[in-house]
Amino acid sequence: MNQLLTIRDILKRPYFRDVTVYASEKALNRIVEWVHVLEVDDVGDLLNGNELLLTTGLTWRRDKAKGVDFLNQIICRQASGLVVEMGRVIHQMPAQMIQRAESADFALILVHSDIRYIDVTRDIHTLIINRQKQIMEELESFSNSLNRLLLRGEGINKLLQLFFTYTGKAVAYLPLHGNPIYVPNAANFDDPSLTIEGHKKASCPIVIMNQRCGSVIVPHDRLPDSFTSLAIDRLAVAVGQEIMRLMYWQEQQLNQEGQWLLNWFEDQLDDKKVTDQLWHVFPNMIFNQCAVAVFEPSGDIFSEEDVPEPMHRKIALRTSFRNVSIIVLTLNLENRLISVLLDLKENRSTTAFQTAIGSALQQFSVSLTKKSSLMKGLWGVSRIGAVTCRMKKQVTEALTVIDVQKHRVDLKSPFYSELHIYQTLHQMEKSGCLKSFIIEQIGCLLNPPNEKSIDYLETLTMYLNCGSVKIEAAAKLFISRQSLYKRLERLKELLGADFEEPYRKLAIELALLGYQYLHGRQTDL
C-alpha cells in the first residue's frame, strides 16, 4: 500500500461527489500531509507545504486580481491543492485562477454541493492519522524482523531482501571499499546518474565510529513515501550493526594470531615467513610498502572509564586507515599501541603514502567522542620501507619521534623523516655527550661573570637566526644597533673571535638548538 495520501485519494471521499476538478495527472498525484481552512489575503508563513486548503473565497470574492494573488501565494508555499465551495460566496471561478492552477500543475477543486469544512478536515485528518498509525505498526514489524536477522547473523544480503519484501522497492548497499550488493538485482541501478549525491533523499549513509563506510540507496522518480523514508534509516543502522559484528569477529581472529606480530617486531621472522603470514591473514592482497606507527598515551588512559575498550579502539583505527587504502595490524605492548601500516594502493609514492597516513591519523583523532581521552598522548611514525624490512628498527624510529616530542619540540607531523637535526640531538642525548657538547661550545654564555642583566644566549640565538644581519637582529631584540655592536664585541671575548667562522658557527648553532632541546624538559646544565 502507498502510505502517502494524494489529491486523487481524497477526491474519492463521499463529500467530493459533486465537484469540478481542474488538475493534471501530476496535480492529482500531489501529496497531502494536512488539511487547513484559509480565509486571508496575505498567506505569509502560515503554510508548511503539502496542505490541502479549504476556502469560501470570502477575501477575494469581489476582486479577481486578489484571487489570482492568493492562488500565487499558496502555490509558492508548496500547497497541494485548493478546495473552493461554490454558491455560498463565490458563484463563478475567475478564468485567470483556473488558467494559473493548470499552468502550475496545481489541483483546483470546485465543490457545488453544501459541505461542512469541519467534517472534511476531521475526516481527512482521521485518515492521515490512521495511515500514520499503520506506518508505525508496519515499521515496528520491520524493525523486529531486522533484529531477528541480526541475531541470527545472516548477513547484509538478507537485510536488504527484507527491506525489498516490506517496501517492494529495489535497494543497494554501496560500500566505500568492496563490491556493492543489489536486491533484487543490479538491473534497477543501470542509470548512470544513480549516485548517492544525486539521490540524497532516497539514501542513508552508514556511519560507524563517526566514519562513513558506505550507504544504502533506493532508486526513485519522486520523493520516497513515509514508510520507505523511515525504513531506509533503520536498514542503514542494521547494516552498520552487521558490519560492526564482522569487524569484531575479524579483530578477534587477528588478536588470536598476535604472537607472530610480536616475533616480527623482534626480527625473529625471515622475509618468507613474513610474506607467508601476511598472505594467510590477508589472502590475495599485495602490499607495496609499510610503516610503523606507535601511540603512547599520557598516563594510563587505557584504564579510564570514558575510553573505549581496546577492540573498539582498534576497529576505529582500522576504519580510519581503510578509508585511505591502508591495512592495519595492531599490537598492545608495554602500554603502547603499535600499528603496522600496510599500503594497499598500487604504485603509490612514498610521499603520497605518508600523506595518506597523516590524513588517517587526523580522521582517527576525531572518530571517537569528544569526551574520550584516547588521543591524549603522542604519535610517532617510522620511515616508510618495504614490507619485509626490519620491524624492530621501524619501531625504534617511531619511538624516537615520541621521545623528541617529549622535549616540547613542535613537529609539523609525527614522522621520523621530519625530525631532521633532531635525529642528531636525540642520538647525542642518548649517548650522553649532548650536555658536555653544549657546555663546551656555549657554556660561557649561560652564566657570564658580572653581566647577569644581559641575556647573551638570547642575543646570540637571535643574531644567528637572522643570518648575522645586524639591523634585523637589533630590531627583533628591541635594542639599538650600537647596543647590539657592544654585545657582539662581548660575545667575541667570551666565545673567541672565530665564533662566526663556518665550522665554529655550525657547532655553536647545534649547541644552541641542543640547549633548547634540553630546556624544553627544564634540564639544568
**Where in the sequence is the domain holding 368, given as residue range(s)?**
257-419
**Last residue of a domain, which of 419, 445, 466?**
419
**Does 222 reside within a domain?**
yes
Contacts of 67-72 with CB under 8 Å at 24 or more apart are 67/94, 67/96, 67/97, 68/94, 68/96, 68/97, 68/100, 70/41, 70/43, 71/97, 71/100, 71/101, 71/106, 72/100
**340, 268: one domain:** yes
In the numeric block, the cell 529495489 is attached to: 170
Mean pLDDT of 374-379: 72
Residue 14 lies in a domain: yes
**Residue 470 domain-assigned (yes or no):** yes
The pLDDT score that the predictor gives to residue 352 is 94
Distance between CA atoms of 9 and 358, rounded to whole angstroms?
Answer: 57
Give the DSSP H or E segment for 454.
none
Interval 289-309: pLDDT, tens: 999 999 888 754 444 444 445
- Alpha carbon dihedral 242, 245, 246, 250, in 10-degree steps, equals 170
Q: What is the pLDDT of residues 10-63, one digit of tens each?
A: 888 888 888 888 888 888 888 888 888 888 888 888 888 888 888 888 888 888
Reply yes or no on whether the pLDDT at 286 is more than 60.
yes
392 found inside a domain: yes
Percent above pLDDT 90 for the chain:
20
Same domain, 165 and 277: no
Element (H, E) at 103: helix 95-103
pLDDT (tens digit per residue) in 475-492: 999 999 899 999 999 899
Shared domain check, 380 and 266: yes
Residue 146, domain member (yes or no): yes
Confidence at 138, pLDDT banded by 50, 70, 90? confident
Taking 60 as the threshold, does the pLDDT of residue 386 lie above it? yes
Residue 101 to residue 475: CA distance in whole angstroms: 76
List of residues 6+ apart from 18 with CB closer than 8 A = 111, 112, 113
Question: Is the same domain home to 304 and 414?
Answer: yes
Average per-residue pLDDT for the chain: 82
Q: Which residues pair with 291 in a beta bridge?
A: 341
Domain co-membership, 176 together with 246: yes
One domain, residues 97 and 52:
yes
Angle at which helices 117-152 and 226-256 cross, to 10°: 20
Same domain, 312 and 299: yes
30 shares its domain with 59: yes
265 with 407, same domain?
yes
Q: Which residues pair with 173 in a beta bridge?
A: 181, 216
Q: Average of pLDDT values for 407-411?
A: 83
Tell me the CATH number at 83: 3.40.1390.20
Residue for grid cell 498509525: 133
The owner of cell 595492531 is 330
Last residue of a domain, one of 419, 446, 478: 419
Whether the pLDDT of residue 234 is over 80: the answer is yes
Q: Is residue 83 part of a domain?
A: yes
pLDDT of residue 357: 94
Longest Cα pair distance anywhere in the chain, in angstroms? Answer: 113
Name the least confident of 145-149, 161-165, 442-446. Answer: 442-446
Number of domains the chain is built from: 4
412 lies in the same domain as 479:
no
Instruction: Say whether both 169 and 184 belong to one domain.
Output: yes
Give the pLDDT of residue 274: 83
Specify whether 468 is located in the same domain as 333.
Answer: no
Domain boundary among 63, 85, 115: 115
Q: End-to-end alpha-carbon separation of the chain, Å?
A: 83
Q: Dump pLDDT digits (tens) for 112-128.
A: 888 888 888 898 888 88
Q: Is 130 a domain residue?
A: no
Residue 378 CA to residue 298 CA, distance in Å, equals: 7
The C-alpha cell that represents 345 in the structure block:
594502493
CATH number assigned to the domain comprising residue 153: 3.30.450.40
Fill in the DSSP letter of residue 479.
S
Is 525 within the bounds of a domain? no
Q: Kindly give the residue spans of alpha helices, DSSP state H, lying in 153-222.
A: 156-167
Which grid cell sits at 183?
536486491
DSSP 447: S
CATH for 378 = 3.30.70.2730
Q: What are phi and psi of 120, to 5 degrees?
A: -65, -50
Residue 453: which CATH number?
A: 1.10.10.2840
User: Residue 455 pLDDT > 90, yes or no?
Assistant: no
